């Protein structure tokens, strides 16, 4: 497995208490990074911190859909560290229903977390990256944001918005050593599948030519490269990791 160099760097990973976020955190820690996990589940965060038991691992209980909370914790962190890496991983899928039957409050909640959460974190953290003329931002989108998943209009819309945000912000920062990219995974073996009906999960799997779900470590490897100093040119781009599902 390739070893990345994140010595003396600080990363914030949202939705970091489990799944993709936690696996990324473990690879970052192995590579010398100082990591802050952000999640809304305090009990799960504490359990994760205890299990990993690494002095370079920290956490904050943050609702990324609330800008004031994001801004507060960014201020606390930047009083001690410069923020080198931001992984916008927090997200929820929500229920599967036709758009015309979708609960309005739930639709708004999903978009608030998946899109506005990404915006809030970027808005609060990018000024610190500009100050230091360095940064790597990876926004975790989804093939649903490219293709659209039937009965998942809120999730598809939020992730499509995150892709658009990535392309715009990447261009705005292209004259600096700050890279902003998105990754679009297909379904993976994480707890997020538990939020979906069995029928919806099977429908997702049937679209993947590889014939299986994404393994978490495969996803982490891509994110690590995008987050590293080795990525000196790619920005405002969308990196597909869908097992052949996506056609563009």
| Sign (positive or negative) of CA dihedral 2, 6, 12, 17 | positive
Query: What backbone phi and psi angles, to 5 degrees, belong to 182?
Result: -120, 150
| Beta strand extents in 31-92 (DSSP E only) | 34-39, 57-61, 85-88
Give, in order, the Cα–Cα distances in Å from 79 to each of 40, 72, 87, 119, 134: 22, 11, 20, 22, 17
Task: Classify the C-alpha dihedral 121-125-129-130 as positive or negative.
Answer: positive
Identify whether 248 is a catalytic site residue: no
- Which residue out of 67, 81, 155, 248 is catalytically annotated? 155
Angle at which helices 216-227 and 19-30 pack, to 10 degrees? 50
- Which residues are part of the catalytic machinery? 155
């Amino acid at each position: 497995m390739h070893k990345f160099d994140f010595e003396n760097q600080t990363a914030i990973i949202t939705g970091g208490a489990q799944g993709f976020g936690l696996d990324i955190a473990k690879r970052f820690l192995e590579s010398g990074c100082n990591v802050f996990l952000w999640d809304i589940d305090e009990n799960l965060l504490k359990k994760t911190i205890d299990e990993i038991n690494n002095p370079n691992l920290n956490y904050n209980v943050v609702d990324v859909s609330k800008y004031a909370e994001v801004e507060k914790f960014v201020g606390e962190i930047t009083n001690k560290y410069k923020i080198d890496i931001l992984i916008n991983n927090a997200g929820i899928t929500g229920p599967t229903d036709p758009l015309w039957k979708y609960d309005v409050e739930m639709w708004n909640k999903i978009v608030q977390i998946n899109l506005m959460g990404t915006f809030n974190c970027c808005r609060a953290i990018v000024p610190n990256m500009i100050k230091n003329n360095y940064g790597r931002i990876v926004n975790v989108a989804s093939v649903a944001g490219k293709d659209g998943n039937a009965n998942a209009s809120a999730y598809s819309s939020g992730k499509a918005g995150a892709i658009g945000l990535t392309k715009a912000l990447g261009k705005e920062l292209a004259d600096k050593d700050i890279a902003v990219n998105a990754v679009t995974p297909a379904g993976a073996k994480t707890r997020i599948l538990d939020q979906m009906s069995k029928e919806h999960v099977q429908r997702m799997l049937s679209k993947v030519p590889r014939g299986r779900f994404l393994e978490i470590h495969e996803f982490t490897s891509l994110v690590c490269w995008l987050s590293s100093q080795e990525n000196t040119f790619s920005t405002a781009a969308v990196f597909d990791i869908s097992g052949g599902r996506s056609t563009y």
